Structure 1
Amino acid sequence: MIRRRTLIASGGAGLLLSGCDRVIAQPQVRDIIFKGEDMHRALQRALMNRDALAPEFTPDQRSPYFRTNGTRDPGTAEYNALRAGRFADWRLQVDGLVARPLTLSLTDLGQFPQRAQITRHDCVEGWSAIGKWQGPKLGDVLKQAGVRDAARFVVFTCADLYGGAPYYESVDMVDAFHPQTILAWAMNDRFLDVGHGAPCRLRVERHLGYKHAKYLMRVTAVDSLAGIGKGQGGYWEDNVDYDWYAGI
């Protein structure tokens, strides 16, 4: 996989100068970076069964402490009001390229077939932890909404704000319909707490932790990421040059 840090470290690439960020900002260099990312995704998909499962663990292997990542509390007036009402008024919007837009409460999510899985969360910061997650498969929710054939990506919009705008992430349809990709409302047999993304978060188990969007408010099927943020499909991808495809 070609990453921004790889290009900076490569003497052959000629980017050891202090002006490397200006070089990387050039469209042709960014094209090389993201084409390399596409190659990594294609290679991993070619070598692995698209439905291959991430490792799962036994209850006794769960971590005694599971760190929070990213935002620990959105702290907005809207979120605080939802939290005060124990998320009874929270609704998840499912829209975009779907035949039947949905508005789902926590009770509604519980009516779908549920998947429980004990998996390892691997953070880009270098730590990992094992926890149990439960919720409906994202694929089942998209099927209920009648996702259209034109949809290529699913975008997640969240309650926490970065720079005054909602946090966002995305996956393609292969990962959206992966059997371990769920809309989790429970962790370790309890409703999610605020630090871990209450009332609902994404679990996309074959990806690094920054893809697991918390505080979900909206799920949107789209045919392109061009109009999402700065066009790379996620907050960190747009602003810190994280890879959009974070497969592990």
Structure 2
Amino acid sequence: MRDSKLILPDPKRRRLITGLGALGASAALTGCDSLSRNDRVQDLLGATDRLTRAAQRLVSSRESLAREFGERDIAPTMRANGSTDPSNDDYKRHAANGFADWRLRIDGLVRQPGDFSIDDLKAMPSRTQITRHDCVEGWSCIAKWTGAVLGEVLDRVRPTSAARYVVFHCADNIYGGPVKYYESIDMVEAYHPQTLLAYGLNDDRLPIANGAPLRLRAERQLGYKMAKYVMRIELVDSFASIQGGNGGYWEDRGYEWWAGI
């Protein structure tokens, strides 16, 4: 683990944030059941999202670090959820040759769009951290992640001043449907030192079930923000023209965009 001084949130602040966000969190725990499709619940989620996000940013430093753990805390297996083996032909072709020809495309509001192989990413400044993954389904799991520091990667493509969000376009079609998973974070979260493009899990290559060849680790966010099977990163100033316009696959279905913990 890279040496760094942990700046842990004040417990009183965490309790305030938890209290303000409890209603939104309990609604999110319903997952993809009928509640997430109910118009009144979606309106309530939207209002709670705005309140939670405002409270989080007001009383908690956006630069504070998520808690990191020791080797003995690592779970025997990092639980895989959501998609565990994308079925589209392009992804299967990459997986069959060990992702040797895979490239991450970064474009949008950048001055130097680029394509990066896994070896390219491994040559960039990296970080290893042992952190806890918290899922809206109610489970948590501690694992060791290694990856390129996202802020360092973005510096290679030189974001423009208009860039407000980083959107992750993924390879997996949710439930075999026509829509591929996508997620987003803002530029502050993108440049947080613990936000990684992870290619390693527990001192080994990232397995397919956990998002190979590359997944997002935004350690201060709930699990649905941690996009797996990342194929392209797009910097934008708005979500309006991207799928449902809410910044993520589950957000388009009623989840909160701000999923800070």
Normalised by the length of structure 1, the TM-score is 0.88
- Report the Cα offset of residue 190 of structure 1: 0.6
Shift of 1:33: 4.0
Number of the residue aligned with 2:249: 235
Which AA in structure 2 matches 1:243?
A: E
Residue 9 of structure 1 is matched in structure 2 by: none
Could you say if the C-alpha distance between residues 39 and 66 of structure 1 is closer, same or farther in structure 2, counting changes exceeding 3 Å?
same
> What does residue 133 of structure 1 align with?
145
Partner SS state of residue 160, structure 1: strand
Whether 1:214 and 2:214 are equivalent positions in the alignment is no
Q: Does 1:3 align with 2:24?
A: yes
How far did 1:76 drift? 1.5
In the alignment, structure 1 segments of 5+ residues that lack a partner are 7-17
Counterpart residue number, 1:66: 78
Which of 93, 96, 111 aligns to 1:84? It is: 96
**Bigger CA radius of gyration:** 1
Q: Which runs of 5+ in 2 are unaligned?
A: 1-20, 28-33
Question: What is the RMSD computed on CA atoms of the aligned residues?
Answer: 2.1
Give 1:173's aligned residue: 187
Equivalent of residue 50 in structure 1, options 62, 73, 81: 62
Distance 1:133 1:19 in 2: 34
**Per-residue deviation, residues 100-148 of structure 1 (Å, max 9, x unmatched):** 0010000000111111100000111111110000111111111111011
Contact 2:45–2:255 at 8 Å: present in 1 too? no
Q: 2:87 & 2:39 partners in 1: Cα distance?
A: 38
Q: Aligned equivalents of 1:149 and 1:211: distance in 2?
A: 24
Measured against aligned partners, the alpha-carbon deviations of 1:1-29 in whole angstroms (never above 9, x if no partner) come to 363966xxxxxxxxxxx99966528xxx7
Aligned to 1:192: 206
- Counterpart of 2:250 in 1: which secondary structure? helix
Query: Percent of aligned positions with the same letter in both sequences?
Result: 50
User: Distance in 2 between the 1:179 and 1:19 partners?
Assistant: 36
Q: How does 1:98-117 map to 2 (within 5 A)?
A: 98-117=110-129
**What is the CA–CA distance in structure 2 between the aligned matches of 1:230 and 1:91, rounded to whole Å?**
26
Equivalent of residue 124 in structure 1, options 107, 112, 136: 136
2:25·2:136 contact (CA, 8 Å) conserved in 1? no
Q: Which residue of structure 2 lines up, in the alignment, with residue 24 of structure 1?
A: 40
In 1, are the aligned partners of 2:183 and 2:249 still within 8 Å (CA)? yes
- Paired residues in the alignment total 232
Equivalent position of 2:3 in the other structure: none
1:36 deviates by: 3.3
Question: What is residue 10 of structure 1 aligned with on the other side?
Answer: none
Deviation, 1:229, is: 1.3
Q: Distance in 2 between matches of 1:224 and 1:205?
A: 23
SS for the counterpart of 2:101 is coil
Judged with a 3 Å threshold, the aligned counterparts in structure 2 of structure 1 residues 40 and 86 are, in CA distance, closer, same or farther, namely: same
Residues of 1 paired with 2:260 and 2:139: CA distance? 16
User: Residues 223 and 64 from structure 1, CA distance in 2 versus in 1: closer, same or farther, beyond 3 angstroms?
Assistant: same
Aligned partner (choices 172, 175, 182) of residue 196 of structure 2:
182
Contact 1:4 1:33 in 2 (8 A): no
- 1:27-58 deviations in Å (ceiling 9; x for gaps): xx73x642431231121122112110100011
Equivalent position amino acid for 2:62 in 1: R
